[in-house]
Amino acid sequence: MRRIRFSPDMIVAIRRGEKTMTFRRSPKLCGVYIVEDGSYPRHKHVDTGLRIFIFHTFWVENVGVYASQNYKEEGFANSLDVIKKLEVLYGGFVPRVGFGHQFLLIQSRSELEDLMRKTGGKP
């Protein structure tokens, strides 16, 4: 199964159902992902127990427009908070372009198994 990392505050937002979208510089394939705690070094895989299903990946031509249109889905109160978070995540640099990803939190084992069946067992 594929893995995707989130910061601890975003993991909380995912658990609460407040975050259903994520911006990345590289596209993620649609499918099921293990959510990992991003506060650990990249080589250390810390499973949070959460699973998400990315169902839509799209090109973002302007991150400012993306933030203003999707800040709630990103789990923030306003677009400026999205930009500030990206700046922290990318070391003081805010990417101008990238990819948006819409996802669902998988709530149960049966939901996971159903998604696996629908995608041909290829998360």
* CATH code for the domain of 93: 3.10.400.10
pLDDT tens digits, 91-107:
999 999 999 999 999 98
In a domain, 123, yes or no: no
Query: Is the model's pLDDT at 10 over the cut of 80?
Result: yes
Task: Give the pTM.
Answer: 0.89
Number of domains in the chain: 1
DSSP codes of every residue in 22-38:
EEESS---SEEEEEEET
Query: Is the model's pLDDT at 22 over the cut of 80?
Result: yes
The alpha carbon of 61 is separated from its chain's Cα centroid by a whole number of angstroms, namely: 18
In a domain, 80, yes or no: yes
Least Cα distance to 96 among 61, 59, 57 occurs for: 61
Report the relative pairing of strands 31-37 and 47-60 from DSSP bridges.
Answer: antiparallel
In a domain, 71, yes or no: yes
pLDDT mean across residues, the chain: 92
Q: Is 14 helix (H, G, I), strand (E, B) or coil?
A: helix
In a domain, 74, yes or no: yes
In a domain, 113, yes or no: no
In a domain, 117, yes or no: no
In a domain, 102, yes or no: yes
- Which residues are CB-neighbours of 95 under 8 A, at least 6 positions away? 23, 25, 63, 86
In a domain, 52, yes or no: yes
Full domain range(s) for residue 79:
2-108
